Structure 1
Amino acid sequence: MSDWNPSQYLAFADERTRPARDLLAHVPPIAARRIYDLGCGPGNSTAVLVARFPQAHVTGIDNSPAMLEAARAACPGADFAFGDLSIWLPPEQPDLLFSNATFQWVPRHLDVLEHLAATLHEGGVLAVQMPDNLDEPSHRLMRQVAEQGPWAWKLREAAATRDMLPAVGTYYERLQPLFRRLDIWHAIYNHPLDGAEGIVAWLGSTGLRPFLAPLEEREREAFLAQYAARLAEVYPLQRDGKVLLRFPRLFMVGTR
């Protein structure tokens, strides 16, 4: 798959950073000295961490060279390093492991979160947010267009790049023994966007990537046209001409 596009991702910078701010608001007061932002992207979440913990050494980790380049330019108050989170472990014992909208892409991420939790200092915190939206119309329609179009044979593996999140109880049973306090909750965001095309633009830098990457340019255009037409059927226009993209997210904050 092609590298991530920081500019496209940051077209909705405020909306994408809002869950990071909300997650950080639930991190308890700690005297953090070593913080890792896991899946830091273009550094928008890292900047939030630097502002909250100015005394800490903050390092952003990502597997996208383009995102890391953008992050270094946008957030000079932190360090950034390449890392594959499916196997990465912190080189120094952390006080806070923070991740905004990343682990949904990591295979067997519950196993990974268990390993990461064990690396924390006593009193350290693991704070994770993940989109929980694969059953939303935006993603169901994405899969339907992929399965029903002439490109179906090319996109057979596309939906498999990301699995449904486990049940909340599964996270609790696996992670609760590792923490003295574990909070898990869902929040639903409703993003006003510019019609079906706005939803396509929002998802073009994230959920649509596995579906678009295998296609030739003309196929991409046809795929997106069909997808936008179906979105328009299920996301009604509001009085101001916007549509509301319902976006559930799962939050977890564990304190060792």
Structure 2
Amino acid sequence: MERLLENKTILIAGAGGLLGSRLVPKIIAQGGKVIAADINIKAMTERLVSLGVDVHNENLIFIELDIMKEKNVSELFLNYTDIDGAVNSTYPRNKKYGAHFFDVSLESFNENLSLHLGSAFLFTQQCASYFKKHENPLSLVNISSIYGVVAPKFEIYDNTPMTMPVEYAAIKAAIQHLNKYTVAYINDSRFRINCVSPGGIFDNQPEAFLEAYKKKTHGAGMLDVEEVIGSVLFLLSEQSRYVTGQNIIVDDGFSL
């Protein structure tokens, strides 16, 4: 049986992160080649090794990428002619990110929009430019969130120091529309952009939060990052050839 990504080359921006690092071995297992890009190659390599990835695999290439630098991103796409798909799993933010609503300054809000949404625009724009230049089919997957779809359920943060950052909600909602804008502008069936919007992903959050969150789902609670991978692989593959401008929510009913 042919694997989903046989002979496809997939660029992963943020391949050293929580989601990106798990995508690398899954894409290779589906027959794909991976260009693993991250701002810190050493940290990315160490994380992949800790996950059991053979970092010397001939189907794995490491490159340094600062997704917030226009020259860096544009040069990346100049160096390759065979990219079939891309995933932007980066998560740039400033040191003040995560403050409660009334504690967020306009300066900090604008900076986080510039870092996260700005870099998402840049990467999406450069994927579109790459497609226009080579005119080979290309599928881009951007990562949004359930909080780009529905309002936060603030009660689940009670008894914790956590909140749902307002910048995050604004950015993740905007990314979904950025996708639609871009595919409408390019207007070519061979160029697709879609989103995956995960629910909460387990990352050692406080127990009070985990319990409250679980009550809002159909029983799964916080998801393991592995649960999100299948939707990304589907969108990168020929199985979703005419799926474009869409958003797949993976949240075990949290947003219902």
Match in the other structure for 2:172: 164
CA distance in 2, matches of 1:49, 1:151: 36
Matched ranges for 1:52-67 at <5 A: 52=30, 58-64=34-40, 65-67=42-44
- CA gap of 1:82–1:159, structure 2 versus 1, over 3 A, is farther
Q: Is the 8 A contact 1:36 1:98 kept in 2?
A: yes
The residue identity in structure 2 corresponding to 1:203 is F
In structure 1, stretches of 5+ residues that fail to align are: 1-23, 191-198, 209-223
Which segments of structure 1 move beyond 6 Å, counting only runs of 4 or more?
186-190, 247-250, 252-255
Q: Alpha-carbon deviation of 1:85? A: 1.9
TM-score, length of structure 1 as denominator length:
0.51
Q: Alpha-carbon deviation of 1:126? A: 3.4
Match in the other structure for 2:184: 176
Query: Is residue 231 of structure 1 aligned with residue 244 of structure 2?
Result: no
CA distance in 1, matches of 2:146, 2:217: 15
Q: Alpha-carbon deviation of 1:80? A: 1.3
- CA gap of 1:118–1:134, structure 2 versus 1, over 3 A, is same
Moved more, 113-122 or 44-53: 44-53
CA distance in 2, matches of 1:186, 1:37: 14
- State which of 145, 148, 157 in structure 2 corresponds to 1:132: 145
- CA gap of 1:186–1:128, structure 2 versus 1, over 3 A, is closer
- CA gap of 1:134–1:101, structure 2 versus 1, over 3 A, is farther
Q: Which has the higher contact order (CA 8 A, sep 6+)?
A: 1
In structure 2, stretches of 5+ residues that fail to align are: 93-115, 243-256
Q: Alpha-carbon deviation of 1:102? A: 1.0
Q: Alpha-carbon deviation of 1:71? A: 2.6
Match in the other structure for 2:135: 122
Equivalenced residues, count = 188
CA distance in 2, matches of 1:186, 1:150: 30
CA distance in 2, matches of 1:92, 1:225: 46
Q: Alpha-carbon deviation of 1:131? A: 3.9
- What CA RMSD, in Å, does the superposition of the two structures yield over aligned residues? 4.5
Match in the other structure for 1:68: 45
Q: Is the 8 A contact 1:168 1:184 kept in 2?
A: no
Q: Alpha-carbon deviation of 1:130? A: 1.9
- CA gap of 1:101–1:175, structure 2 versus 1, over 3 A, is same
Match in the other structure for 2:89: 102
Query: Is residue 45 of structure 1 aligned with residue 23 of structure 2?
Result: yes
Q: Percent identity?
A: 10
Bigger strand fraction: 1
CA offset digits 1:9-67 (Å, max 9, x no partner):
xxxxxxxxxxxxxxx94x7x8x75x653222236442334445556x6x4200235433
- CA gap of 1:180–1:103, structure 2 versus 1, over 3 A, is farther
Q: Is the 8 A contact 1:235 1:243 kept in 2?
A: yes
CA distance in 2, matches of 1:97, 1:86: 22
CA distance in 2, matches of 1:125, 1:99: 8
CA distance in 2, matches of 1:233, 1:35: 37
